[in-house]
Amino acid sequence: MDVAELVLKYVEAVIWPLVTLTVAWCLRAYLREAFARMTRIEIPAGAIEFEAETRPGTTSPAVNV
Protein backbone atom coordinates (compact mmCIF):
# COMPACT_ATOMS: atom_id res chain seq x y z
CA MET A 1 0.00 0.00 0.00
CA ASP A 2 2.85 2.42 0.67
CA VAL A 3 4.20 2.04 -2.86
CA ALA A 4 0.78 2.76 -4.37
CA GLU A 5 0.42 5.91 -2.26
CA LEU A 6 3.90 7.02 -3.26
CA VAL A 7 3.13 6.53 -6.95
CA LEU A 8 -0.18 8.40 -6.57
CA LYS A 9 1.54 11.34 -4.88
CA TYR A 10 4.15 11.42 -7.65
CA VAL A 11 1.45 11.41 -10.35
CA GLU A 12 -0.44 14.19 -8.56
CA ALA A 13 2.72 16.29 -8.44
CA VAL A 14 3.65 15.73 -12.08
CA ILE A 15 0.28 15.87 -13.85
CA TRP A 16 -0.45 19.61 -13.62
CA PRO A 17 2.84 20.73 -15.22
CA LEU A 18 2.32 18.21 -18.02
CA VAL A 19 -1.19 19.48 -18.68
CA THR A 20 0.03 23.09 -18.63
CA LEU A 21 2.85 22.36 -21.06
CA THR A 22 0.51 20.41 -23.35
CA VAL A 23 -1.98 23.29 -23.49
CA ALA A 24 0.83 25.81 -24.11
CA TRP A 25 2.22 23.58 -26.88
CA CYS A 26 -1.20 23.32 -28.55
CA LEU A 27 -1.69 27.10 -28.37
CA ARG A 28 1.89 28.07 -29.23
CA ALA A 29 0.97 29.84 -32.50
CA TYR A 30 -1.61 32.01 -30.74
CA LEU A 31 0.74 32.70 -27.83
CA ARG A 32 3.56 33.65 -30.21
CA GLU A 33 1.23 36.08 -31.99
CA ALA A 34 0.06 37.59 -28.70
CA PHE A 35 3.62 38.07 -27.43
CA ALA A 36 4.59 39.70 -30.74
CA ARG A 37 1.77 42.26 -30.35
CA MET A 38 2.61 43.12 -26.73
CA THR A 39 3.81 46.66 -26.25
CA ARG A 40 3.88 47.06 -22.46
CA ILE A 41 3.97 44.80 -19.41
CA GLU A 42 3.78 45.82 -15.77
CA ILE A 43 4.15 43.37 -12.91
CA PRO A 44 2.91 42.44 -10.14
CA ALA A 45 -0.56 41.70 -11.41
CA GLY A 46 -0.39 44.87 -13.44
CA ALA A 47 -1.34 45.92 -16.94
CA ILE A 48 -0.55 44.18 -20.20
CA GLU A 49 -1.02 46.29 -23.29
CA PHE A 50 -1.40 45.05 -26.87
CA GLU A 51 -1.20 47.03 -30.06
CA ALA A 52 -4.46 47.10 -31.99
CA GLU A 53 -3.99 44.97 -35.06
CA THR A 54 -6.39 43.02 -37.21
CA ARG A 55 -5.50 39.84 -38.96
CA PRO A 56 -5.15 39.97 -42.74
CA GLY A 57 -8.42 39.14 -44.43
CA THR A 58 -10.59 40.24 -41.54
CA THR A 59 -12.61 43.40 -41.34
CA SER A 60 -13.96 45.39 -38.47
CA PRO A 61 -17.58 44.69 -37.63
CA ALA A 62 -20.07 47.21 -38.97
CA VAL A 63 -21.54 49.51 -36.38
CA ASN A 64 -25.05 50.86 -37.00
CA VAL A 65 -25.68 54.07 -35.11
23-51 pLDDT, tens digit each: 999 999 888 887 777 777 777 777 777 77
- Is pLDDT of 64 > 60? no
- Contact (Cβ atoms closer than 8 angstroms) between residue 18 and residue 11: no
Of 35, 11, 40, the residue nearest 24 (C-alpha): 35
Give the chain's domain count. 1
In a domain, 61, yes or no: no
Q: Which amino acid is at 39?
A: T
In a domain, 55, yes or no: no
pLDDT at site 53: 62
In a domain, 36, yes or no: yes
In a domain, 15, yes or no: yes
In a domain, 60, yes or no: no
pLDDT at site 24: 92
Taking only the tens place, the pLDDT of each residue in 46-56 is: 777 777 665 66
Residue-number span of the structural domain to which 17 is assigned = 2-50
The greatest distance separating any two alpha carbons of the chain, rounded to the nearest whole angstrom, comes to: 69
In a domain, 63, yes or no: no
User: CA-CA distance, 21 to 30, in Å (whole number)?
Assistant: 14
- Is pLDDT of 22 > 90? yes
